[in-house]
Amino acid sequence: MPDSHPPQEDPTVSRGPAALPHAAAPAREELLGGLGAYVDASRPEFERRLAELVGIPGVSADPAHAGDLARTAEHAATLLRDAGLSARIVPTAGYPVVVGEHLAGTGLPTVTIYNHLDVQPADPDEWHTEPFRLAIAGDRYAGRGSTDDKGPALTALQAAQFAVGRGWPVNIRFVWETEEEIGSPNFEAFVRAELPRLATDVVLVSDSIWIAADRPAIDYGLRGLVTFEVTVTTGRNDTHSGLTGGPARNPLAELAGIIAECVDPVTGRVLIPGFADAVAPVTDDELDGFVASGFDVDTFMAAHGLTSLRTTDTREVVRRIMAEPTFEVHGLVGGYTGPGVKTVVPPRATAKLSARLVPHQDPHAVFALVRDFITARHPDAVLELEAAMPPYLGPRTGPYAEAAADAVEYAFGRRPAFVREGGSIGAVLTMNEHLGAPVILTGLSLPSHGYHAPNEHYDWTQTAGGIRMFAHYLAHLTSLTA
Amino acid sequence: MPDSHPPQEDPTVSRGPAALPHAAAPAREELLGGLGAYVDASRPEFERRLAELVGIPGVSADPAHAGDLARTAEHAATLLRDAGLSARIVPTAGYPVVVGEHLAGTGLPTVTIYNHLDVQPADPDEWHTEPFRLAIAGDRYAGRGSTDDKGPALTALQAAQFAVGRGWPVNIRFVWETEEEIGSPNFEAFVRAELPRLATDVVLVSDSIWIAADRPAIDYGLRGLVTFEVTVTTGRNDTHSGLTGGPARNPLAELAGIIAECVDPVTGRVLIPGFADAVAPVTDDELDGFVASGFDVDTFMAAHGLTSLRTTDTREVVRRIMAEPTFEVHGLVGGYTGPGVKTVVPPRATAKLSARLVPHQDPHAVFALVRDFITARHPDAVLELEAAMPPYLGPRTGPYAEAAADAVEYAFGRRPAFVREGGSIGAVLTMNEHLGAPVILTGLSLPSHGYHAPNEHYDWTQTAGGIRMFAHYLAHLTSLTA
């Protein structure tokens, strides 16, 4: 699709307060003059910055690394200032959020770029290099957090530095969280508290993965999630099935029956009447985009270690991941789980369950539906809500999506596929809801980069493309008046 | 029922090689002359013997007690010899079996009395007295193993000592196992190896519990048991339900579905066609006996800590425990079982299952039926047989049962209820099968005695009655010619 494609808004999707007119191409091209040379020249600086951040092991899941997360935030603030932005470290009840800003002027468009700087744990035994020392081999940057999400954060920073240095009329704000890997427990409180200082026209989130290395992808939707437990209690202690089996209720068997009433586990079809009533049907056009992402069933199976699937039809597989709700069993607690079989009848059993949700399912409404369905049949089953996250549907067409697609095409030479993410990202929902701005997921990571895996890496190709992508998006924004 | 009740054989039940004619009452009464005084005089000797045995902590489940089990066997042999019998300690691949014998003569009837001398572990913190020091308080004998099963063993020994001392024409053999609490892993090998030296007309097993304290009970049947695991494997590692949920199979959900196809967990009804085909229907007469045992639903629930049942109708509860097969779930392994809900889809899950069986179900046939039923629907489900024990049905009527009932009535002043045991006792099956003799379960323990519980105890009332019961049975046997 050419840059001059007329902007169209999709009235069904969420969006920010202001509609953006399409940017004037000549002005943007002018601003981007010299970007190629800047990108090339950026490389040593980018690599130094990435090495410095990777060298601080900010593992948010491990309290022993609390000091490293404080150091991460401090060093991130230094890097923002080096790039010509202001920086402040905003404390939370957990680890802080680093906010960097370049305020070019009131009335100018504002973009917020979200990344996170905390990382997954790393077991050195599984790594070929030291996880917390950046190993540069040609274009490849190996180290924990290199692609998730320090590399993309610094890629965007290089682009912002280009814009700030040239005095572009656009307000740029970075929001760098340090608790993403532990579920962003304090991010909503941060956003609420800082709301007056976080006004923005659009949010870019760069923490997602292309489906295939040769096809850029933009996520415009996320599944929601509701997690809950169902408990059946029939006694006070283990009994011996020889002594009680027959008249005694078996809470594990009853939970198995409850699960089988809720879902056909072979097909995955949810059997609860009304469960899918609020599901917005996915269009053929959307499905075409999912498939065009380069999704490959064999690659998917190999990447996740799956040896069989409910279906191997590509279109059906992507439809299920990106646009269908689920009902999953994650664990059953109760009874005997050691070696062999011990004939106990437990007094209580709990099933750990969840449902992934798609637009426009409401997690609380779904929980109430599931609870009522189960307790109508099993009055003494006790359901407890654990966590609820609504699904997210951002723009797939319209000016925000077009601007991102144009930037991606400019940077990587190919228009992106518009896909949805099967998982849930709390920060996206929080920002969309509280900032009232559309969130565009312009990820830069590749499937081969090893998110959460040993020997995680990032690379210069994605960095260089990413700088161009963000610069193009910023240039586009300069043509707008907020 | 009077002693003179004409003996009748039930042609449907198992029995020994020879039918016993009914004993001539006068001879038996003569033999039993002086028994009352003997019982009274026995008390100090019995209490000393019980204290000695309880003082040796032969916990078979704990390898640290291996020496105590050797000491238990040696001291048991000493006690047998003190009582006028020969004794030998037969080694096995595990802990030994002690065999005591009084051989009055070839051609005379032979009775084998089975007990076990190993005990359950005991946590001193849960006891009011030291578990391995007999605490005598009035008629009450507290100590680990006092009622399970050292007390009943020594009760029978006191009776045998009376018979041996008076030269009764009956062969008496004691078989005292020391691995019963760990499932009798070497008992069948012992019986096979010793078969030529174990010929017997009848076996008495005194290791069971009356249903109510005021009503003696004789177990004439045991449920069988088949335990097995079902495993579904769909991948090589945990995956994240956000990334894979939908197309990915969920092995825990599939197992839940499999379980729900096998059993209606609310009613307990097994749904596998043919599962109950071999079940011998229980007669109203048998059910009358079960109910007459003094079984009380509230007492049952309180004793086992059950807060609700599938049914609270007394006759239906006893029918289910004593004469109905089950399909039970004991545990599901796989997935996440920590706090909260973690949205993993496990690569594999295993259900630990069992079926209690009733006459004339065959455990191997039932396993094959279940396996075929499940794999026809779920071809990649893998079933593994863990253990198989057939049900046992001994005589409820006929001379052996009558003789035992007469002995119980003589001893305790009330005819026993004939009931079945819901559990499985491997040694009973082994002896019935290999010795070709009927096994009568003449237990002496009361529900209040605390089998396997802290503050386990036995008492003098059951001891005195038990000595009379065994003496009466031995006297009865003297009137027979094998």
User: Which residues of chain B neighbour A333 with C-beta distances below 8 Å?
Assistant: 337
Interior angle at CA B269, CA B265 and CA B272, nearest 5: 105
Which one of A247, A331, A378 has the shortest CB-CB distance to B335?
A: A331
Helix or strand holding residue B231 (H, E): strand B224-233
Mark which of B346, B367, B389 sits at the end of a domain.
B389
CB contact under 8 A, B321 and A227: no
What's the ipTM?
0.87
Under the banding of pLDDT at 50, 70 and 90, the label for residue B403 is: very high
Residue A481 binned pLDDT confidence (cut-offs 50, 70, 90): low
Q: Are residues A91 and A48 in the same domain?
A: yes
List the single range of A363-367, B13-17, B359-363, B434-438 with lowest mean pLDDT. B13-17
> Which one of B266, B337, B380 has the shortest CB-CB distance to A257?
B266
CATH of the domain at A415: 3.40.630.10
Q: Is the pLDDT reported for residue A349 higher than 50?
A: yes
Q: Which of A249, A261, A328 to mutate to test the interface with B (most CBs of B within 10 A)?
A: A328
* A422 and A466 co-located in one domain: yes
Both structure tokens of A334: 């109760």
B472 and B346 belong to one structural domain: no
Task: Tell me how far CA of residue B404 lies from CA of A340, B29, B399, in angstroms.
Answer: 38, 16, 8
B310 min Cα distance to partner chain A (Å): 5
Chain A closest CA to B111's CA: distance in Å?
Answer: 28
- Rounded to whole angstroms, the Cα distance separating A248 from B327 reads 12
Residue B64 DSSP class: G
Does the beta-carbon distance from B422 to A260 stay under 8 Å? Answer: no
Tell me which residue in A242, A309, A310 faces B356 most closely, judged by beta carbons. A242
Given an 8 Å threshold on Cβ–Cβ distance, is B328 in contact with A423?
no
Provide the number of structural domains found in chain B: 2
- In this prediction, residues B384-402 reach a mean pLDDT of 93
Among partner residues A228, A307, A331, which is closest to B234 by beta-carbon distance?
Answer: A307
CA distance A322 to A309: 16
Q: How confident is the model at residue A154 (pLDDT cuts 50, 70, 90)?
A: very high
Do A139 and A30 share a domain, yes or no? Answer: yes
**CB contacts, 8 Å: B261 with chain A:** 260
| Residue A296 belongs to some domain of the structure | no
Best of A230, A240, A306 to mutate (most B CBs within 10 Å, chain B)? A306
Domain boundary among B361, B389, B417: B389
* Beta-carbon separation of A317 and B247 below 8 A: yes
DSSP secondary structure string for all residues of A367-415: HHHHHHHHHHH-TT-EEEEEEEE--EE--SSSHHHHHHHHHHHHHHSSP
**How far is A231 from chain B, CA to nearest CA, in Å?**
13
Q: Tell me if A199 sits within 8 A of A375, measured CB to CB.
A: no
Q: Is the Cβ pair A309, B343 closer than 8 Å?
A: no
B-interface mutation test, from A341, A353, A445, most B Cβ less than 10 A away: A341
Q: Both A353 and A403 in a single domain?
A: no
Whether B330 and A321 lie within 8 Å, measured CB to CB: no
> Which stretch of DSSP H or E encloses residue B229?
strand B224-233
Can you give the residue range of the structural domain that contains B60? 25-222+391-478
The answer on B168 and B53 residing in a single domain is yes
> Residue A40: is its pLDDT beyond 50?
yes
Average pLDDT, chain B: 92
**B92 plus B162 within the same structural domain:** yes
* CA separation, residue B454 to residues B132, B207, B451 (Å): 11, 18, 8
Judged by average pLDDT, the poorest of A69-73, A181-185, A477-481, B372-376 is: A477-481
B288: number of Cβ within 10 Å: 12
Quick one: A169 and A78 in the same domain? yes
Please indicate whether, in this complex, the C-beta atoms of B328 and A260 are within 8 angstroms of each other. no
The answer on B241 and B143 residing in a single domain is no
Partner residue facing A311 (CB), from B247, B253, B387:
B247
* Chain B interface test: which of A244, A311, A342 (most B C-beta within 10 Å): A244
User: Are B211 and B334 part of one and the same domain?
Assistant: no
Is B341–A245 a contact, with Cβ atoms under 8 angstroms apart? no
Helix (H) or strand (E) holding B179: none
Per-residue pLDDT averaged across B387-399, rounded? 92
- Residues A449, A463: Cα–Cα separation, whole Å: 13
The verdict on residue A430 lying in a domain is yes
Residues of chain A positioned with their CB less than 8 A from the CB of B300: 247
Cross-chain Cβ contact B328/A263 below 8 Å: no
Strand partners, B66: none
Question: Where do the DSSP E strands lie in A138-207?
Answer: 140-142, 171-177, 202-205
Query: What CA–CA distance (Å, rounded) separates A157 from A55?
Result: 18
Check residue B5 and give its pLDDT: 30
Residue B297 maps to a domain = no
The Cα–Cα gap between A44 and A426 comes to 34
CB atoms A243 and B423 under 8 Å: yes
Q: Is residue B196 domain-resident?
A: yes
- SS3 string of A127-155? CCCCCCCCEEECCEEECCCHHHHHHHHHH
Rg (CA), chain B: 24
Q: Beta B439-441 vs B202-205: how paired, if at all?
A: parallel
Q: What is the pLDDT of residues B113-170, one digit of tens each?
A: 999 999 999 999 999 999 999 999 999 999 999 999 999 999 999 999 999 999 999 9
Nearest Cα residue in chain A from B254:
A265
**B260, B304, B330 ranked by CB distance to A341: nearest:** B330
Q: Are residues A346 and A275 in the same domain?
A: yes
Contacts B422 to A, Cβ<8 Å: 242-246
In single-letter form, the type of residue at position B274 comes to G
Q: Which residues of A touch B310 (CB under 8 A)?
A: 246-249
Q: In the prediction, which pLDDT does B277 show?
A: 97
pLDDT of residue A18: 41
CA gap B422, B325 in Å, rounded? 9
Contact A335 B324 (CB under 8 A): no
Domain boundary among B374, B389, B404: B389
The pLDDT tens digits for B214-268 are 999 999 999 999 999 999 999 999 999 999 999 999 999 999 999 999 999 999 9
> Residues of B with CB below 8 A from A332's CB?
252, 256, 332, 335, 337
CA A51 from centre of chain: 24
Tell me if B257 is assigned to some domain. yes
CB B370 within 8 A of CB B383: yes
User: What confidence score (pLDDT) does residue A62 get?
Assistant: 92
Is B314 within a domain? no
- CA atoms lying within 13 Å on the CB side of residue A361: 28
Which of B257, B268, B332 lies closest to A246 in CB terms?
Answer: B268
pLDDT reading at A449 higher than 70: yes
The amino acid at B286: E
Mapping DSSP onto H, E and C, the string for A70-100 reads HHHHHHHHHHHHHCCCEEEEECCCCCCEEEE
Give ∠ CA A376-A382-A387 in degrees, rounded to 5.
Answer: 110
Dihedral sign, Cα of residue A271, residue A274, residue A275, residue A278: positive
* β-bridge mates for residue B114, sequence order: B175, B205
Residue B10 falls inside a structural domain: no
> Is A243 in contact with B321 (Cβ distance < 8 A)?
yes
* B410 located within any domain: yes
- Chain B positions in Cβ-Cβ contact with residue A314 (cut-off 8 Å): none
CATH code where residue A268 lies: 3.30.70.360
Quick: pLDDT tens for A396-442: 998 889 999 999 999 999 999 999 999 988 899 999 999 999 999 99
Kindly state whether residues A124 and A251 are assigned to the same domain.
no
